[in-house]
Amino acid sequence: MTDAQAEPGVLRLADIGEAAPAALLARHGLALQRVVDGAPIPGSYWGDEEAGIIGHTVYARGDTPVHSLLHEACHLIVLPPERRAAVHTDATDSIEEEDATCYLQIVLAGALPGVGRARLMADMDAWGYSFRLGSTRAWFEQDAENAQRWLVDHGLLAPDGELPAPAGATMRAVV
């Protein structure tokens, strides 16, 4: 059974279109590169339909889950731009960066029409993200203070836990 069959209700890039995710990534200095359906995804850590990362680019097909696209993008966003260029497939350096990545992907989901935080957290649970409180929502609402603080300290979230106003990142989208 493929992951697509195991997760029939998980939102995929084809469900929401490429324009909004490409624009969201561009606000963070990243590019979204669409991969032909059925082709291997460059830089994919998990393989199959899961998103890939190389440098400043996130690779995805139409069947790529939105949570995967956002997660891999957030791996790049939490890195300083000078470290992004060297990334190929695996970007995590620490537990703190991984936690920040998970938190930020939930926040960014709120900026995507038709996705939102609640839907993304449900999709993360369906895929198998594992948090000690049992669900993504419980972690996000009750146990993610360190991740939020890390993102605020690194200027990726405002002190209220929301996205700060865009700071003039290079706007570039490849779709």
- Give the tens place of pLDDT for each residue, 32-83: 999 999 999 999 998 899 999 999 999 999 999 999 999 999 999 999 888 8
pLDDT digits (tens, 9 = 90+) for 120-168: 999 999 998 888 889 999 999 999 999 999 999 999 999 998 988 765 5
CA Rg value for the chain: 15
CA nearest to 169, candidates 3, 2, 26: 26
| pLDDT at res. 22 | 98
Q: Which runs of consecutive H residues, i.e. helices, occur in 19-160?
A: 19-26, 66-77, 81-84, 95-109, 116-127, 136-142, 145-153
Mean pLDDT computed over 88-114: 93
Distance CA 151, CA 29 (A): 17
What are the CA-CA distances from residue 134 to residues 12, 45, 137, 160, 164 (Å)? 24, 24, 9, 25, 29
